[in-house]
Amino acid sequence: MKIISLLSAAAIFSTMAFASNIEVYKSPECGCCGNWSKVMKSEGFNVVEYKTNEIMDVKRGAKVPGELSSCHTGLIDGYVIEGHVPADEVKRLLSQKPKDIIGISTPAMPLGSPGMEQDGIEDTYDVIAFYKDGSQKVWATYKGAKKIK
């Protein structure tokens, strides 16, 4: 009976975490990338970091448009997560599983985005979806950690 209860508890807990690894490719010198990884871990993701001096090759291989480039690139379940994307948007992407999207990006490194917290300074920024047909559109808009649309 206890074994069944433990298995049930484990099954419930496993739905709270994400089974897939998010592979994060970053420069060996970048600290904010590690901060983003910590945020993702705290949100239930299993993060595996790879330090590389060939980050631009990773971005090209993942088909990240140059204008959407940021400091690190994540790969999860066939999607690209570029830069300091909030965990809620990664969760939404994984739950919706759109077939036409390559990935989502928070271009540049906006202050107040996950991993870029700076003494309460919060930029307004967009999370941009980029599609297989080459198009892009705003996926969500944030001010710091708060979604505004």
Structure tokens at 55: 């980050």
Tell which residue, 102, 89, 94, has the closest CA to residue 36: 89
Position 83 scores a pLDDT of 97
Position 17 scores a pLDDT of 52
Burial class (CB in 10 A: 0-12, 13-18, 19+), 50: middle
Please name each of the domains of the chain with its CATH number.
20-147 (3.40.30.10)
Residues 6+ apart with CB under 8 A from 76: 18, 20, 21, 22, 23, 45, 90, 94
Strand pairing class (136-143; 124-131)? antiparallel
Position 2 scores a pLDDT of 38
Distance of CA 23 to the CA centre of its chain: 10
Positions in the chain short of pLDDT 70: 1-19
Q: In this predicted model, what pLDDT tens digit does every residue of 88-111 receive, in sequence order?
A: 999 999 999 999 999 999 999 999
Position 30 scores a pLDDT of 86
Position 93 scores a pLDDT of 98
CB atoms within 10 A of CB 61: 13
Q: Which residue has the tokens 């985005």?
A: 113
> How big is the chain, counted in residues?
149
